[in-house]
Amino acid sequence: MLILFLFVLYQSIKGRQEDKMTETLVNVGLDERSYPIIIRSGVLADIGSDLRQRKIGTKYGIIADDTVAKLYGKQCMQSLQAAGIQAELIIFSHGEVNKTMATVATLASELAQQGFDRSDALIALGGGVTGDITGFLAAIYMRGIPFVQVPTTLLSQVDSSVGGKTGVDLPEGKNLVGVFYQPKIVYIDTDVLHTLPLDELRGGLAEVIKYGVIHDADFFSFLAQEREAVFALQQDTLTRLIARCCEIKAWVVEQDEREGGLRRILNFGHTIGHAVEAASDFQLIHGKAVAIGMCAVADLAVRTGHLQEGDAQAIKKLIEQYELPITIPTDLDRKVIKKYLLNDKKTVAGRVFYVLPQGIGKVMITDQVSQDAVDAVIACSGC
């Protein structure tokens, strides 16, 4: 009996070790601010034991929106508690409309009331909204405490959890207040994507396609071939896809952490996308707005002589293949979009920078785009 028990125990430990061996690791190399991205099915359950070894904080505030808290809050709490780490789950209402200074102020008060001090740390458990809010909160609470990213949407797994951009929106525009503040580690559990609404998955796929266009033609082709496996959430395909996006993002951020130049390529599709998102009163989710923005700048690149029409068509085809919109909805007021474009935080001294594709896998950054060309693209999108 004892031998049987020991055998079962051995098999279970061996199984878990083998699972861990199949995890994919991407490093973000930023000297003393470097950190690992661990990508693995089921990693959420092991966060506690991993954090115990890393000693990032004494006590952890797990920040989650109400939806994610219901789905994964308990599992995350249990993982920490099982490892002997004290943790509190702190919840805010989901949605971009709550990515505000007011939410940050409320969460900061809750941390203070619960006795969080400079030895403690935060965990962002959720999508990009939670990650941006939590990172910003961590950067300013008691003048800065460490934080960990546990992204639960595809968008946050491939983009927002990596690179240290944190912040909130103002009524005047998106992400207008924030800081660069890197997490200590990013844990990506591919299993959580099984509860993600299909529309949110599609939104994340817009950011995935972005990486193919800006840097990796082979990845672009991989996406064209693997569409079915992606929508079926096939483990190997997902891991490969997420890891490649994180590698490209890390490569960019390592060279230009604070967006002085190269990092702007990550905004491909975002300048017009953000304006469309804001003009829709955030009814259009971020990823869909980015998809529209990528098609609009592809048109802009053709119009200004930087891109072949065939490549613009290939970009739109892939975006459509992933069930994303390619034109600005007809009911959105073009004047309002233009107003938001000029308010974009990437505007420097009134100049708007555009990331124009020059082919698949290659982009350029320029502020030398005439307003007439932009107006024409916005006016013609969908007509």
Which positions are annotated as active-site residues? 143, 165, 207, 249, 259, 263, 267, 270, 274, 286
126 binds ligand NAD (CB under 6 A): yes
203 binds, among ligand GLY, ligand NAD, none (CB under 5 to 8 A by kind): ligand NAD
| Candidate list 63, 76, 129, 148; residue touching ligand NAD; CB under 6 A | 129
Binding residues for ligand NAD, total number by CB under 6 A: 31
Among 47, 266, 284, 337, contact with ligand GLY (rule: CB under 6 A): 266
Sole binder of ligand NAD in the list 46, 120, 159, 299 (CB under 6 A): 159
Whole-angstrom Cα distance, residue 175 to residue 86? 32
Q: Is 96 in the site for ligand GLY (CB under 6 A)?
A: no
192 binds, among ligand NAD, ligand GLY, none (CB under 5 to 8 A by kind): ligand NAD
For ligand NAD, the binding residue among 155, 201, 284, 318 (CB under 6 A) is 155
Residue 286, interface with ligand GLY (CB under 6 A)? no
The span from the CA of 194 to the CA of 235, in Å, is: 11
Asked if 96 interacts with ligand NAD (CB under 6 A), we say yes
Reduced to 3 states (helix: H, G, I; strand: E, B; else coil), residue 38 is: strand
Angstrom distance (rounded) from CA 73 to CA 126: 10
Structure token digits, residue 113: 């009331």
Report, in Å, the least distance between residue 85 CB and ligand GLY: 29
Q: Could you give the 3-state DSSP secondary structure of residue 311?
A: helix
Q: Which positions from 243 to 282 touch ligand NAD by CB under 6 A, shown as an x/- string?
A: ----------------------------------------
Q: Which of 69, 175, 183, 81 is nearest to 134 (CA)?
A: 183
Tell me the closest approach of the beta carbon of residue 351 to ligand GLY, in angstroms. Answer: 18
Question: Is residue 246 a contact residue for ligand GLY (CB under 6 A)?
Answer: no
Burial (Cβ within 10 Å: 0-12, 13-18, ≥19) of residue 234: middle
**Residue 263 site contact among ligand GLY, ligand NAD, none (CB < 5 to 8 Å, cut-off depends on kind):** ligand GLY
Q: Mask of contacts with ligand NAD, 163-182, x by CB under 6 A?
A: x-x--------xx-------
Here the tokens at position 10 are 């051995």
For 112-130, the three-class secondary structure string (H helix, E strand, C coil) is HHCCCCCCCEEEEEECHHH
Record the tokens describing residue 258, joined without a space.
Answer: 């604070």
Structure tokens at 244: 């490649």
What is the rounded CA–CA span in Å between residue 40 and residue 191? 8
Residue 120 or 207 with smaller CB distance to ligand NAD: 207
Rule CB under 6 A: which of 308-367 touch ligand NAD? Answer: none
The residue among 125 and 355 lying less far from ligand GLY, judged by its C-beta, is: 355
Q: Vertex 51, ends 47 and 57: CA angle to 5°?
A: 130
Q: Are residues 162 and 250 in contact, defined by beta-carbon separation less than 8 angstroms? A: yes
Q: Of 80, 111, 173, 200, which lies in the binding site for ligand NAD, with binding defined by CB under 6 A?
A: 200
344: left (phi > 0), else alpha (psi -120 to 50), else beta?
Answer: beta
Interface pick for ligand NAD out of 57, 128, 173, 212 (rule CB under 6 A): 128
- Helix or strand or coil: residue 323? coil
DSSP 78-112: HHHHHTT-EEEEEEE--SGGG-SHHHHHHHHHHHH
Residue 153 binding partner per list ligand GLY, ligand NAD, none, with a CB distance cut-off of 5 to 8 Å that depends on partner kind: ligand NAD
Q: Which of 196, 292, 294, 378 binds ligand NAD (CB under 6 A)?
A: 196
Residue 165 Cβ vs ligand GLY, minimum distance, rounded to whole Å: 5
Q: Which two tokens stand for residue 178?
A: 């924030």
The answer to whether residues 315 and 363 touch, using CB atoms and an 8 Å cutoff, is no
Q: What is the DSSP string of 247-276?
A: HHHHHHHHH-TT-SSGGGGGGTTHHHHHHH
Kindly state whether residue 165 participates in binding ligand GLY, applying the rule CB under 6 A: yes
With a CB cutoff of 8 Å and minimum separation 6, the contacts of 172 are 343
Structure tokens belonging to residue 343:
């308010």
- Quick check: 257 binds ligand GLY (CB under 6 A)? no
Q: Does 156 bind ligand NAD (CB under 6 A)?
A: yes
Contact status: 163 vs ligand GLY (CB under 6 A): yes
Stretch in the footprint of ligand NAD (CB under 6 A) among 6-14, 60-68, 253-261, 349-357: 60-68
One symbol per residue from 102 to 141: x for binding ligand GLY (CB under 6 A), - otherwise; what is it? ----------------------------------------
